[in-house]
Every structure is written in structure tokens, then in C-alpha cells.
Chain A
Amino acid sequence: MSNQDALIEIRDVCKLFTDDGDEKQAVDHISLTIRRHEFVTLLGPSGCGKTTTLRMIAGFETPTSGAIYIDGKDVSAVPPYKRKVNTVFQRYALFPHLNVADNIAFGLTVKKLPKDVIAQKVDAMLRMVGLQGYNKRKVTSLSGGEQQRVAIARALVNEPEVLLLDEPLGALDLKKRKEMQIELKNMQQKLGITFVYVTHDQEEALTMSDTVVVMRGGTIQQVGTPQDIYNEPRNRFVADFIGESNIIDGIMPEDERVVIGDVSLDCVDKGFAPNEPVDVVIRPEDIYIVTQSDKGQFKGTVESVVFKGVHYEMQVRDTAGFLWLIQDTSMFAEGMEVGLIVRPEDIHIMRKSDDPNAAVYREEEAL
């Protein structure tokens, strides 16, 4: 094993589903190493293969090719009930015929632990998730948030090496979701076990994770810390999926210089072929608006203004016709002529060829 810390290793795994004669490549040659004590999030739009990947780690699906190692052992043929991983399911999958305590105790009774030990562990778990005294409640009488906590307790009580979470907060309202994000992160740090978390919510991924794995169309687009992913998206898709972005076609005539339309800008990227066509990504908060339109690198007219709480979100149409999305704490009125300024270090240049799904992506965009 290459890395002493590696707990889960996914090596060149593919998963092909055949249904009604249609073949669907859910996961397409992915390789990924998950370290011990790490909080890893698989992030991507629906159908990107994140849940399938998680289900292969859990053992509910077997890879069509490739192998998955847990603790250095190939587990591809090990059934889910013999793996030291536990799952928190999307809609919790609590057993409706059992009460809260019996749900949590389920895995322990399977292991035939003594009754008093089970009771002790269940109570400890209930305390940890903040549901002490809920033992005899029916799970169907609980709120979504409470059911969520029971589901987490039911998995964690088995002391798994890895906890898998499949969009566990999807059914909660915004406020509950924020609370649970913080709680989950705290739990993970306190227990020191590995969390593999699946979500399509980029904000959630950035808040909680040590490592974010951005997926799309069965492939991994980028692996990195939340900061890396946000600040240095590797391609147009990642840039667009993580946060909001202005993505414009540009050309690199030389190192550290990019031309958008007829505007030439300084930037910090280099190593492109002369006149290589590129995607230029600029975050909305990295664009500055000046009232004297001649002072800007781009000239444009404010088309719309929306107040978003902490900032205003404005759309500015430049003279070349591109619609910029800009976030600024001060407001510029609709119809106003303004100038736009971007700092060189806020300009992110991406090779078009770095995006393996570029063609597909444009198609989707056109829809």
C-alpha cells in the first residue's frame, strides 16, 4: 500500500447497470484513496455516480471491474453484512415496526451482545445525538430531524471504521440542515472515524469536508480541499458547479496574458500554447464595479439588481454582449453605465481540453 494512512482504496472501478437492455455506465474508471479519520464528500449533480460509489463501498453494489480495498483487503466480494462500514440512508430507512431503542440496538443484537451492554450503549448513543429519554418512542412519531439522529445513532453504535452517509440532510429544512452540518462535523472529529458523505449541495460539501471529490458523469473531476476546489477549480464544470462563476471564452496569446473579446488582461497563469483557446473563470465577488465606466477593463450597463441580504447581486451586460454576474456590498442602480475591474490573481484560466465532458456539457447548457 502506497499510503500508510489509506483506509479505503478504490482502484480503477467501473459500474455498469443493465436494465431493459439499456446499458448505463454509472461509474467510469474511478480511482480514489480515502485516508483514516478523513471527512470526504462525494459531490456532484444527480446521476454523477456518487451514490453508486458509496453503495459499492457499503457492499450493496459490486464493481463491474476494478477493486475496492478497505484496510488493505480486497472487499469486492464481501457482502455488506460482513463489512465494518455502516450507512446512514437517504430517507433514514428506520425500521417502522421497532421503537427508537430497538432500532439503535439492531446491529448489536445481531452481534448477540449481552442485554445490559446493549442498553448502556444505546443510552450513550441517544445522549450523544441529543435524544435521551426517547428509547420507547415509535420512530414514525418522530420529526425528520429526530429520525435523522436515530439513523446516525443506529449506524454509529456499531463503532464502524467508516460511516457512509447518503444525502442524509436532504429532507431537512434549511435551518435544521445547518445545525446538523455542524453537529456531524463535531461528531466526526470527536469519534475520529472516517466519514464518506454524499451530497449534491456544494455549500454543504465545502462547510464540512476535509476533502471534496467532485464527480460528474461517472468520473472524478477534481479531488482537493474545499479551498482548492473553490479557488482553483480544475475545469469549467467544477468552476460552475462550485459556487457561482462567470465563465467566458478567451485566448492566451502568451503567458500571464489573456484576451477576452477585444479586452486584454493580465493574469497569473502560464504554460499554455500560444493563442490557445481557454475558459476564463471569474467569481462574482471578485469583480469590482466603478462608476466611471472608462476606468473599468470592461464597460457595461447594469441590467438587474437583487438584494441578497449581505450583498447585492447585479447583472451587467458588457459592450461585447456578455452578461456578468457580480456580487458587491454597494448597490448600483439599474440602467447605470459602469466599469468592471478584475485583479490578475482572481482570473482563473482553464484548458478546454481539461474538461473531458466539455462537449456533453455544452449540450446540456444549450438545453
Chain B
Amino acid sequence: MRRNHKALHLISRLYMVAVLVFLYAPILVMMVLSFNEGKSRGNFTGFSLKWYGELFQNAEIMQALSNTLIIAVISSLVATVVGTFAAYGISQMNRRSQGLVMNISYLPVINPDIVTGVSLMLLFIFMRMNLGFATMLISHIVFNIPYVILSVMPRIKQMDRHLLEAAMDLGLPPLRAFLKVVLPDIMPGVISGMIMAFTLSIDDFVISFFTTSGVQNLSIYIYSSARRGIEPTVYAIMTLMFVTVVSLLLLINRKSLGRTVAKRTRI
């Protein structure tokens, strides 16, 4: 019985390690190859930083990177402001309108990204907008707002609903009362919503792909470069991004992180 137990324990350990190897092997391989001197993906011919050098000189990648970051920052900020006010406003509606608005808000969440992407493309063409940076930015705001609302709403529901009234009772008009009293209370939800929006924006490929043309973000660049053939400069940017993400994650607390990750169902 005891030996049986020990064997079981060992097997489960081995199993966990095997799954972790499966998850991390590709990432480790990439990291190692990003320092490879040669262009070969089969064997390591010597340590070198030349792909990193090329990366920073590659104007196309740098442009894609800056597009990605600018769009992620602007879209997550706009989505956070609009979404937070929206969540509070929605919470004040009667049950029927609340249900209606929330169901429509869910649409970009449950809609397959490709459907969201093509529908927005149709809209922009219908509105005679040229596909480019602006349309990509708008699209990112579109899919980010619902995640902010979904993240803020539970905090609002938990909050004492008389807080805002108390602040107004003490002399603040509604908007200032909201900023001074409600906002600090729901801040954790707002911040985790913003982080979620930011990472979703960085990660998005499909919606960006359909709503822009000519302007690339990193995902679009990687997609087209993968179809052309593999370049070690991509390994370099991948390594940099992974290291950045891991260090950022270590900075924010574990709980909001888990929740954030769990909601990232969009691929």
C-alpha cells in the first residue's frame, strides 16, 4: 500500500514535469535560438547578439512594435474610462434595460473574433473610413470595453449602493461624488480591467487583421513573416516580450493576474 502510494506520487510528479516541458520547450528553444550565431534552427553554432542588433535596426518591426504599444495604451485607457462610467450607469438602470445592455455588451466577448473583425470591417467601409491606424484603434476599443465592464461590475455590485448618495448628501454633485467616493472603492476592478484590456490589445491578431490595411501591429507582422519563412529576429523580439511580460507579472498581484488570464479566451 505504501509503495503503491509512493509510485503514484512519483508518476504524478513526472506527469506534471512532462506537461510543463511541453508548455515551455518551445519558448526555451526560441530563447536559445535568439542567441544563435547562425540562421539554423537545428543546431546552435555559437553565442551572438546579432539578431537583437538586427531587430532594433529593422524599421518594419520597430514600427509594428510602436503601433502595438500605442494602440494598447490608448485603447485600454479609453476603454477603462468609458467602461467604468458605463458599468456604473448600467448598475443604476432597471433590471430589464440592464439585461438588454449587458447582453449586447457580451456580444464582442462571445462573438468569434473573426466575426467581430469582418463586421467592423463592413462598418468602416460602410462609413467610408479608410482602413488604417484609426480603424484598428477603434476596433481595439470596441472589444476592450466589455472586458472592463465585466471586470468593474462585480465591484460595483459589492459596493454599498448608498456611498454615492452619502457623498451627494455631504455636498458633492454627482460626477464629483462618483470620482471621489465610488471610484476609489471600485479601483481594484478598474485596474484589473485596464490590465486585461491592455494585454488583450497586445495579443490581438484576428480583429486587427481585418480592420486595418497597410498599417501593421506586431501580430500582423509575425503572421506575414511566418508565411514568408522563419526569421531569427522574431525569436529575439519573442524573448524580449516574454521577459518583459514575466517581470511585469511579478509586479502585479497574483490574484488579479489569475482572473485576468482566465478571461483571455479570445484567440
* CB-based nearest B residue for A110: B171
A97: B residues at CB distance < 8 A: 184-185
> How far apart are B83's CB and chain A's nearest CB, in angstroms?
21
Q: Decide if A293 is an interface residue (CB 8 Å cutoff).
A: no
The segment from B2-10, B29-37, B122-130, B159-167 found at the interface with A is B159-167
Using Cβ atoms and an 8 Å threshold, which residues of chain A touch B172?
Answer: 81, 110
Residues in A with CB closer than 8 Å to B238 are none
B185 near A81 (CB under 8 angstroms)? no
Bitwise, A11-41 to B at CB < 8 A (1) or not (0) is 0000000111100000000000000000000
Which of the residues B96, B162, B171 comes within 8 Å of A93, measured between beta carbons?
B162
Give the segment of A84-92, A173-181, A219-227, A339-347 that binds chain B.
A84-92
Could you list 26 A-B pairs, sorted by A, with CB under 8 Å?
Answer: A19-B95, A21-B96, A58-B169, A60-B165, A60-B168, A79-B168, A79-B174, A80-B169, A81-B168, A81-B172, A92-B160, A93-B160, A93-B163, A93-B165, A93-B166, A95-B163, A95-B181, A96-B185, A97-B185, A106-B170, A107-B170, A110-B170, A110-B172, A111-B171, A154-B170, A158-B171
Q: Is B177 an interface residue (CB 8 A)?
A: yes
B132 CB-CB contact with A under 8 Å: no
Contacts of A21 in B (CB 8 A): 96
Q: Which residues of A24-82 are within 8 A (CB) of B? A: 58-60, 79-82
Chain B binding surface SS class = helix
Which residues of chain A have C-beta atoms less than 8 A from B162's C-beta? 89-91, 93
Nearest to B169 among chain A residues (CB) is: A87
What B residues does A89 contact at CB under 8 A? 160, 162, 165-166
A111 CA to B170 CA, complexed, in Å: 9
Q: Roughly how many angstroms separate A154 CA and B177 CA in the complex, as a whole number?
A: 16
CA distance A93 to B182 in the complex (A): 11
CB interface residues, B 165-219, toward A, < 8 Å: 165-174, 177, 181, 184-185
Q: Number of A-B pairs whose CB atoms are under 8 Å?
A: 70
Chain B nearest CB from A295 CB (Å) reads 58
Q: Smallest Cβ distance from A141 to chain B, in angstroms?
A: 16
Binding site for A on B (CB under 8 A): 94-96, 160, 162-163, 165-174, 177, 181, 184-185
User: A20–B96 contact, CB under 8 A?
Assistant: yes
Minimum CB–CB distance for B95 against chain A, Å: 6
Identify 9 new A-B residue pairs, CB closer than 8 A, beyond the known A95-B167, A107-B171: A18-B94, A20-B95, A81-B171, A86-B169, A87-B165, A89-B162, A95-B166, A106-B167, A158-B171
> Are A87 and B171 in contact (CB-based, < 8 A)?
no
Encode A297-335 as 1/0 by CB contact (under 8 A) with B: 000000000000000000000000000000000000000
CA distance A106 to B169 in the complex (A): 10
Considering the chains assembled together, what is the distance between the CA atoms of A272 and B169 in angstroms? Answer: 49
Task: Give the shortest distance, in Å, between B73 (CB) and chain A (any CB).
Answer: 26
CA distance A267 to B172 in the complex (A): 58
**Nearest Cβ on chain B to A74's Cβ, whole angstroms:** 20
Q: Which residues of B contact A92 (CB under 8 A)?
A: 160
- A-side contacts of B174, CB under 8 Å: 79
Complex: A81 Cα to B167 Cα, angstroms: 8
A80–B172 Cα gap in the complex (Å)?
Answer: 9
- With A and B bound together, what is the CA distance between A158 and B166 in angstroms? 13
Q: Whole-angstrom distance between the alpha carbons of A337 and B259 in the complex? A: 71
B93, closest chain A residue (CB): A19
Closest beta carbon of chain B to A6's beta carbon, Å: 23
CA distance A170 to B98 in the complex (A): 30
Whether B170 pairs with A158 at a CB distance below 8 angstroms is yes
Chain B residues contacting A94 (CB-CB under 8 Å) are: 166
Q: Pick the most buried of B95, B165, B174, B184: most chain A CB atoms within 10 A of its CB.
A: B165
A82 to B174, CA, bound (A): 11
CA distance A79 to B172 in the complex (A): 10
Q: Which residue on A lies nearest to B187, using beta carbons?
A: A97
